[in-house]
């Protein structure tokens, strides 16, 4: 078991770093979503998909699923 860990320590460390980065990115998205911020950060004034995010007009998520 120790031999397996020592032979693959580089892969293990790289995987842990990537896992931490992904977890922080997901956490950031969740926190921003709870605060009501958009995912792109540029606002909805000129966004063609604003209806999907905020339910404006006929592009409401609920209307599309029915």
Three-state secondary structure string covering 1-66: CHHHHHHCHHHHHHHHHHHHHHHHHHHHHHHHHHCCCCCCCCCCCCCCCHHHHHCCHHHCHHHHHC
Mean pLDDT of 51-63: 53
Answer yes or no: is pLDDT of 61 > 70. Answer: no
User: Do residue 45 and residue 25 come from a single domain?
Assistant: no
Q: Is the pTM of this model over 0.95?
A: no
Cβ–Cβ under 8 Å, residues 55 and 61: yes
pLDDT digits 0-9 by tens, 20-49? 999 999 999 899 888 877 666 666 777 777
Cβ–Cβ under 8 Å, residues 39 and 29: yes
Domain containing residue 4: 1-35
**pLDDT band at residue 54 under the 50/70/90 scheme:** low
User: Do residue 56 and residue 43 come from a single domain?
Assistant: yes
Q: What's the pLDDT at 14?
A: 98
User: Do residue 28 and residue 51 come from a single domain?
Assistant: no
Q: What's the pLDDT at 64?
A: 45
Which of 27, 25, 33 has the alpha carbon at shortest distance from 53? 33
């Amino acid at each position: 078991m120790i031999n397996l860990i020592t032979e693959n320590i580089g892969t293990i460390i790289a995987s842990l770093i990537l896992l931490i980065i992904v977890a922080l990115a997901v956490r950031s998205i969740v926190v921003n979503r709870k605060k009501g911020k958009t995912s792109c950060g540029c606002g909805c004034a000129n966004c063609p998909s604003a209806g999907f995010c905020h339910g404006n007009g006929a592009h409401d998520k609920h209307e599309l699923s029915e």
